[in-house]
Amino acid sequence: MSRSIQYTASPLLTSRTPVWRSKFVVGAIALGFVGLGARAAYIQVVHNEFFQRQGEVRYSRTLELPANRGRILDRNGLILASSVPATSIFAIPEVANLDAAEEAQLAKLLGMPQADLAKRLAADDKGFVWLKRQMDPEAAKKIAALQLKGIDQRTEYRRIYPEGEAAAHVVGFTNVEDKGQEGIELLFNSTLLGRAGSRQVIKDRLGRAVEEVGESVAPVAGRDLQLSIDTKVQFFAYQKLRDAVLSNRAQAGSIVVLDASTGEVLALANYPSYNPEKRVNLSGAQLRNRALTDTFEPGSVMKPFTIGLALETGRVKTSTVIDTSPGSVTITGATIRDSHPHGALTVEQVIQLSSNVGTTKIAMQMPASEMWETFSGAGFGQKPQVEFPGAVSGRLRPAKTWRPIEQATASYGYGLSASLFQMVRSYTAFSHDGQVIRATLLKNSEPAVGVPVFSADTAAKVRKMLQMAAGPGGTGPKAQTAGYSVGGKSGTAYKQVGKGYGNDSNRKYRSFFVGMAPIDRPRIIVGVMLDEPGAGKHFGGEVAAPVFSEAVQQTLRVMGVQPDIAIQPQIVAHAVQESF
Q: Which residues are catalytic?
A: 300
CA distance 242 to 247: 9
**How crowded is the C-beta side of 72, counted as CA atoms within 13 Å?**
32
Q: What angle do CA 117, 123, 127 make, to 5 degrees?
A: 110
Q: Exposed, middle or buried: residue 4 (CB in 10 Å: 0-12, 13-18, 19+)?
A: exposed
Alpha-carbon span 256 to 526, nearest angstrom: 6
Neighbours of 453 (CB within 10 A): 26
* E strand map for 344-416: 344-346
The single-letter code of the amino acid at 180 is: G
Question: What residue type is 154 in one-letter code?
Answer: R
Strands 252-259 and 225-226: unpaired
- The residue type found at 122 is A
How far apart (Å, rounded) are the C-alpha atoms in residues 395 and 407? Answer: 14
Task: Find the helix packing angle between 137-146 and 100-110, rounded to 10°.
Answer: 170
Backbone angles phi and psi of 541, in degrees to 5: -65, -15
Helices (H), 223-266: 231-247
CA-CA distance, 322 to 342, in Å (whole number)? Answer: 10
Smallest Cα–Cα separation from 424: which of 526, 512, 517?
526
8 Å CB contact between 101 and 117: no
The answer to whether 296 and 252 have CB atoms below 8 angstroms apart is no
Number of C-beta neighbours around residue 367 at 10 A: 11
Please check whether residue 225 is in contact with residue 183, taking contact to mean a CB–CB distance below 8 angstroms: no
485 and 469 in contact (C-beta within 8 Å)?
no
Three-class DSSP category at 395? strand
Q: Is the separation of the CB atoms in 488 and 470 below 8 Å? A: yes
Contact indicator for 267, 237 with CB cutoff of 8 Å: yes
Which DSSP letter does residue 301 get? G
Q: Which residues of 264-289 are buried (b: 16+ CB within 10 A; e: fewer)?
A: bbbbbbbbbbbebeeeeeeeeebbbb
**Taking Cα atoms as reference points, which of 354, 490, 371 lies closest to residue 423?**
490
Q: Is the peptide bond before 272 cis (omega within 30 degrees of 0)?
A: yes
